[in-house]
Amino acid sequence: MIGWRDSDQDGVFDVLDVPLGLEGYGYWDADAGVYRFAGRTWVQTLPNLNSSGSGNDITTNTVTRAEYRVDGGPWTAIGDVGAAEASLDLSIPLAGTEGQLELRTVTIDTNAFGDEVVVTESFPHFLADLSRPATVGLPGINGFVWQDGDADGQWDAGEAGLANWTVQLVDQDGNPLDLQTRVEPDDFPDQQDIGEATPGVHLAAVGTGVQSSAVRVADFGTASSGSKVFIHQRLGSIWSADWNSVNRQLRIDFDSPVTQVSLDAVAPANDTAIGRLDAYDAQGHILARYTTSSLSDGASETMTVQRAAGDIAYVIAGAKRGTTVRLDRLVVGPESTATTDAQGAFSLPYLPAGTYQVAAMSPSDWEWTAPVSGSQNVTVAANDVVRHVDFGGLPSGTLHPWQNPVNPFDVNDDDVVSPLDALVVIQDLSTAGARKLPDPGPDSSPPPYVDVSGDGFATPLDALLVISFLSKGPSGNAEGEKSDGDQGGTGGTGPEGESAMDPARLSASPVITVPSIGMAAGPWVGGRRLVTSRRLQSEPLAVDRPVDRFLAWNPVGLLLEDLAPRPHTSDLPSGDEEPSWLQLLAEDRERYRAEADSLPQESDSVARPSEEENETVRPSNSAKASRSIQPTVSEETDASERTEGSREEEDEAIPEGNSEGSADASAS
């Protein structure tokens, strides 16, 4: 026993020193203004090692009461028990949700001076941050899975735990980690000697009633799984499946001490049995005992002994005096998978000391917020109770409701990424301005999915991300349209198969530099706009034709003129007195976010454009059109760039005449 209380100060772990058991769940009840705890407590027994008599385990204790304290303060009695086992339903009056609550159950005695003395107490204690639900916790990893309704990564009041979710230990590749060694009799041929068949585990028959130490498997009529059980050779060379408590027992040794051992006890047909499993350390000291209920006529029960210290060197299995029992299905080591209970709690107890990766399994339409990866690394020390390994999340589409969950760049949700998606964002900004997006409702909901970046705001950055995606797309397929051999229009991929223009990657830096930033508007020629490259980078970057065609589309220029005045021009490199609008879009998105915070959220009061107002504006000779197409090409543009622009014009010659027809051709 590790950390036991020597209540009678005799230096011996005896009946008075056995800790009490405690399990349960607690939470802050905001409506009642109290902290509630529901669970049970019980007296644990001392194994009876007397070689004669009934063999019943021993206790003289009762649970006196429950006690609590806050932030390590004095203990306060909260509920009288006065029994060997009892259910607990406690309401603890507290001032609020600040601090840490600790709860225990105790056995109290009175000394010669009339003072109360704690004889023994529960282990472990219940520990909880008052602001969040908690369980007593077992040595190992403990936590919750909950629905993070507001996606803030914090478990807030009113957010519920999730029942029947799977949490498991995984390896570095995300595959389930198996910490158990199994010896299943049905996995071996009938009558095979299996004493040394499993690496690290050694089975032997012990006692004065066995002919040899050999352990075999055979079908003897009753079993917990399959049909075979462990058997031994009695004196006289008779093979038997009936193990007892006196001279025919099964001993199982381990190459390295373990934390947990399980073995099934099975009653013979037409008979009763009480199974018993004892765990010992390397010095032969008994560490733990499991005794079954009374079993009859083939019934079975799994016996499990556990030690957080990981010091079980061997176990001995048999029956309680006066009965015989059959033994089946040996499992060595702790579980590596857990399922959450009704409150969303889970436990992975009695793990060997080490560092583990814990992952919560989720359906495909789920997004994690805490942590966003859905997994976390946890270090466990011997005897350590690790709490609050929690996972929060919510259904996909509720985390970023204004971002297309299938393809963030497909703003209008038509399954194609094209210049039209950027135009939709720009038109939205020209109508409603940069702003924090509201929760979707009956009068305002996607599509269009204008939050391309997924930051909860509508800003010029969202248009830039679409344009950048198009310019980075695969050669000949930059618009994201499906082509032969394509599965869909998702744009280019990086060297590891990732999307080359993932919005999260583009948004990671406060200032984004992509090829399209280096473009400036050129003069109108033949009803279309030429695009030339400024030398903002060491070498001019090629412009894909779809992006060239998009920038040449006159309505885009007109809509951009409706945006707010160009800010922050003084921060641009010298010589860029009239920056292109793409340069402005690439500025620090946090500035746009700050400006958006000061604007009202979209509501019914925001006038939306009518269908007539939404019609695409064609190039004209109006003052506004003339103003929107003024050249901004730097005087530094060299002859080669102008030649390239002229060559581009020749490659895509547009018939002279009606400028509206020219714009139509360009838009298509």
Residue-wise pLDDT for 133-182, tens only, equals: 999 989 999 999 999 887 888 888 778 899 999 999 999 999 999 999 99
172-199 b/e with 16+ CB inside 10 Å = b? eeeeeeebebebbbeebeeeeebbeebe
Alpha-carbon gap, residue 469 to 636, rounded angstroms = 28
User: Each residue of 566-577: pLDDT tens digit?
Assistant: 333 334 344 444
pLDDT reading at 365 higher than 90: no
pLDDT reading at 667 higher than 50: no
480 DSSP 8-state letter: -
- The residues with which 331 forms a beta bridge, in sequence order, are 182, 262
| Residue whose entry in the numeric block shows the structure tokens 């001392």 | 46
Parallel/antiparallel/unpaired status of strands 300-306 and 295-296: unpaired
130: pLDDT confidence band, cut at 50, 70 and 90? Answer: confident
Alpha-carbon gap, residue 136 to 196, rounded angstroms = 40
Longest pairwise C-alpha distance within the chain: 115
625: pLDDT confidence band, cut at 50, 70 and 90? Answer: very low
Choice among 63-72, 456-465, 494-503, 659-668 with the minimum mean pLDDT = 659-668
Alpha-carbon gap, residue 389 to 132, rounded angstroms = 13
Q: Stretch 550-569: mean pLDDT, rounded? A: 37
Predicted pLDDT of residue 46: 61
pLDDT reading at 78 higher than 70: yes
Top mean pLDDT of 219-228, 490-499, 549-558 is at 219-228
Q: Stretch 251-268: mean pLDDT, rounded? A: 97
| Residue whose entry in the numeric block shows the structure tokens 């005992």 | 289
Average pLDDT across the chain, whole number: 74
pLDDT reading at 284 higher than 90: yes
| Residue whose entry in the numeric block shows the structure tokens 């006690």 | 67
Pick 276 or 7 by higher pLDDT: 276
Predicted pLDDT of residue 227: 96
534: pLDDT confidence band, cut at 50, 70 and 90? Answer: very low
Predicted pLDDT of residue 73: 94
17: pLDDT confidence band, cut at 50, 70 and 90? Answer: low
Predicted pLDDT of residue 373: 92
Q: Are 252 and 241 in contact (CB under 8 A)?
A: no
Predicted pLDDT of residue 539: 32
Alpha-carbon gap, residue 298 to 231, rounded angstroms = 16
- Nearest of 459, 443, 441 to residue 401 by alpha carbon: 441
Top mean pLDDT of 1-10, 70-79, 503-512, 639-648 is at 70-79
pLDDT reading at 333 higher than 50: yes
Q: Stretch 556-563: mean pLDDT, rounded? A: 37
pLDDT reading at 330 higher than 50: yes
**The pTM of the whole model exceeds 0.85:** no
pLDDT reading at 532 higher than 50: no
Q: Stretch 527-548: mean pLDDT, rounded? A: 33
440: pLDDT confidence band, cut at 50, 70 and 90? Answer: confident
Pick 250 or 510 by higher pLDDT: 250
Alpha-carbon gap, residue 289 to 460, rounded angstroms = 68
User: Each residue of 510-524: pLDDT tens digit?
Assistant: 333 333 333 333 333
- Nearest of 331, 269, 279, 323 to residue 300 by alpha carbon: 269
567-582 b/e with 16+ CB inside 10 Å = b? eeeeebeeeeeebbbb
Predicted pLDDT of residue 464: 86
- Three-state DSSP at 448 gives coil
Cα dist from 356 to 253, 308, 334, 352, 376, whole Å: 26, 16, 13, 10, 8
Pick 665 or 162 by higher pLDDT: 162
Q: Are 125 and 75 in contact (CB under 8 A)?
A: no
Alpha-carbon gap, residue 333 to 542, rounded angstroms = 61
Q: Which amino acid is at 539?
A: E
Q: Hey, what are 410's tokens?
A: 């497909």
Q: Hey, what are 533's tokens?
A: 């490259």
Q: Hey, what are 303's tokens?
A: 């016996």
Peptide bond into 124 cis (omega under 30): yes
Predicted pLDDT of residue 115: 86
pLDDT reading at 11 higher than 60: no
| Residue whose entry in the numeric block shows the structure tokens 């003395």 | 117
* Helices 554-561 and 419-432: angle between axes, nearest 10 degrees: 20
Cα dist from 602 to 322, 462, 591, 593, 595, whole Å: 80, 17, 19, 15, 14
- All structural domains of the chain, each given as residue ranges with its CATH number in brackets, are 1-136 (2.60.40), 139-177+335-396 (2.60.40.10), 181-332 (2.60.120), 419-667 (no CATH)
User: Each residue of 30-69: pLDDT tens digit?
Assistant: 888 899 999 999 887 665 555 444 555 545 578 999 999 9
Top mean pLDDT of 302-311, 597-606, 641-650 is at 302-311
Choice among 122-126, 578-582, 640-644 with the minimum mean pLDDT = 640-644
Q: Hey, what are 485's tokens?
A: 């051999």
User: Each residue of 582-601: pLDDT tens digit?
Assistant: 444 444 444 444 554 554 44
Query: Cβ contacts of residue 112 below 8 Å, gap of 6+?
Result: none
Question: DSSP per residue over 107-145, as a string?
Answer: EEEE-TTS-EEEEEEBSSPEEEETTS-EE---SEEEEEE
Nearest-5° angle of CA 154, CA 450, CA 592? 75
443: pLDDT confidence band, cut at 50, 70 and 90? Answer: confident
Predicted pLDDT of residue 367: 86
Cα 634 off chain centre by: 52
Cα dihedral 501/663/618/613 (nearest 10): -50
Q: Are 333 and 177 in contact (CB under 8 A)?
A: no
Q: Are 546 and 418 in contact (CB under 8 A)?
A: yes
Choice among 216-230, 271-285, 432-446, 461-475 with the minimum mean pLDDT = 461-475
Q: Are 259 and 312 in contact (CB under 8 A)?
A: yes
Alpha-carbon gap, residue 590 to 523, rounded angstroms = 33
pLDDT reading at 535 higher than 80: no
Alpha-carbon gap, residue 667 to 256, rounded angstroms = 74
- The residues with which 101 forms a beta bridge, in sequence order, are 70, 128
